[in-house]
Structure 1
């Protein structure tokens, strides 16, 4: 849903980003030879703003998004905004669109920062100009199932990422390749696709747009971010919350066999929060998992959302209040 304003900032490859400006939400102009159009030189981030009961607006760990964009920009040979510029731009965008932040418990304002190679370049080379842009949209639940458990399909024909590739950075070029598998899975009634590692096809990687966790007893496992998996900010936060709650969390290679034997499975991401998985289908075998009240997933989601919305005390300095 279009909102009122977007933030735009430009710089050449020989400069650093300075102060940008707010502009009415609308189209942007690009050269046909823009680096992002010809060679996919682009990154994006995702974060949310929440409204507290007292009307104040909150951001959740925005500096982590800034750091991840900087890491991605280094990998993609791009110029990126500083952490301070990034966070300040998010604040400006939220305040300019504050009437679009839903009431408490009714959703959030999703913020999409983009870093694009917008300068003209015909030969394969880094763009001579970059644009940092943020737009916003009010959102509710990412999946059409709402809060109902997800049904995942384990993909064996297509890979999401390969070793020494760009799977660990949030480049735009990572996402179009997953569409074929995702569309195929959804046409068969699945919520999304769970990918395996490209080398052995034995270890879990991630879902199309979120990280994966499995749980058994008081143990929680999630694939390690070893270069092919995106280091999700929600993922990082859920690991810290789980350890605070007394769970033993391991980041390592997680096999399909361990997935099949798990008690619970859940996904994490900015868009999805902490989403329960009701079933996984692997090689035509459907495995079902515990969901609902009293689960680890529900406990972690309640705590995370409570911190993000200001209901639970933030003891880690994760939340920034916007004035």
Structure 2
């Protein structure tokens, strides 16, 4: 009888303390670059050079013509590597490209580029059990000689990777958030696209939240209300918001100015199909927080961060606890992370093996 040989132990990058790994830049071995010129993307290549060389008139510099994505690769217990839902990132990047008039990247090229980068940097994937992952950052930027407000003559599609630990220190530990008076995006602007300008606009209110202390409460980031009426929750820092109602429904905000989080839609599916909950996307009014027993922020970087409390003006509202994740949040986290690391059966199409 033929037996399958076990996967060889992976080559691990030296001099990285996996136990204390945070969310910061670490240079890895190779990254992918593809250029668009004369109406088409080239085949792309891997390079050791981590510095982009672009024209001084590039639209990415002057007019913000760019977008990016974030996804992760995970080391499984058997030594194999999972990439989580890259087709969804590819689809979202196409939507972002359309919004700012850039040529789209096909699913095939996007997933091929991601796969090449993961394979080329496998030694930087944190070992199973450390809680770390390999964060992948695809991006598209407008480049080439230009000065007028117009779409670029050329573009670069790139993918690089960085080994990361938790976005918020402490793992599944509740964080507090401060309602901001600033808007994250305009009512009919680029809020639904993953473009850098949205994040640049969030830097000042996010820092102000971190610098604020009210009645002994510290805050991890700003919470943004809808830009049209300032009555409904939209996003939490750079993450999507979710909550659990007192009658056991899983709800998330719905708005044309919210970035559609792949993590959020994964949680909606898991809440409905694995936890047998009623789920809905709709309005989450800031003055009706008493109707929710749990709340959280979710996204690729943060995965799930339980929300302990929200400061809205003079009112501080606590959900389940300021020190412990609620039971639904914990179950969803365990289910999602279990899928990502290969310990829980994944829905069809959610995992790409590298």
Q: Under a length normalisation based on structure 2, what TM-score does the superposition of the two structures give?
A: 0.88
* Further displaced range: 43-52 or 187-196: 187-196
CA distances 1:157-192 after superposition (whole Å, capped 9, x unpaired): 210012210000001111111111000000123101
Q: Given the alignment of the two structures, is residue 234 of structure 1 paired with residue 259 of structure 2, yes or no?
A: no
- Residue correspondence of structure 1 range 67-106 to structure 2 within 5 A: 67-106=91-130
1:170 to 189, 194, 201: 194
* Alpha-carbon contact 1:214-1:259 (below 8 Å) kept: no
Task: Return 5+ residue gaps in structure 2 as ranges.
Answer: 1-25, 213-217
The residue that corresponds to 2:309 in the other structure is 279
* Alpha-carbon contact 2:294-2:326 (below 8 Å) kept: no
Change (3 A) 1:119 1:259: farther
Q: Given the alignment of the two structures, is residue 41 of structure 1 paired with residue 65 of structure 2, yes or no?
A: yes
* Further displaced range: 109-118 or 209-218: 209-218
CA distances 1:130-166 after superposition (whole Å, capped 9, x unpaired): 00011110001001344321111111x2100122100
Q: Given the alignment of the two structures, is residue 305 of structure 1 paired with residue 330 of structure 2, yes or no?
A: no
1:260 deviation in Å?
Answer: 4.0
SS at match of 1:169: coil
State the distance in 1 between where 2:57 and 2:133 align: 36
Change (3 A) 1:294 1:180: closer
SS at match of 1:263: strand
1:129 to 147, 154, 160: 154
The residue that corresponds to 2:353 in the other structure is 321
Change (3 A) 1:293 1:267: closer
CA distances 1:268-292 after superposition (whole Å, capped 9, x unpaired): 1000111111111111211112153
CA distances 1:79-115 after superposition (whole Å, capped 9, x unpaired): 1211100000000000000000001122000000010
State the distance in 1 between where 2:290 and 2:202 align: 23
The count of corresponding residues between Structure 1 and Structure 2 is: 319
State the distance in 1 between where 2:49 and 2:55 align: 20
* Further displaced range: 144-153 or 82-91: 144-153
State the distance in 1 between where 2:32 and 2:335 align: 31
Structure having the higher Rg: 2
Change (3 A) 1:293 1:255: closer
State the distance in 2 between where 1:119 and 1:300 align: 45
Q: Given the alignment of the two structures, is residue 32 of structure 1 paired with residue 56 of structure 2, yes or no?
A: yes
Q: Under a length normalisation based on structure 1, what TM-score does the superposition of the two structures give?
A: 0.96
Q: Given the alignment of the two structures, is residue 196 of structure 1 paired with residue 225 of structure 2, yes or no?
A: yes
CA distances 1:237-270 after superposition (whole Å, capped 9, x unpaired): 0000000111111101110123243110111100
CA distances 1:201-246 after superposition (whole Å, capped 9, x unpaired): 101110121000111231121111x310000000110000000111
* Alpha-carbon contact 1:2-1:25 (below 8 Å) kept: no
2:175 to 150, 158, 161: 150
Change (3 A) 1:145 1:151: farther
State the distance in 2 between where 1:25 and 1:239 align: 40
The residue that corresponds to 1:270 in the other structure is 300
* Further displaced range: 232-241 or 251-260: 251-260
* Alpha-carbon contact 1:50-1:108 (below 8 Å) kept: yes
Task: Return 5+ residue gaps in structure 1 as ranges.
Answer: none
* Further displaced range: 133-142 or 256-265: 256-265
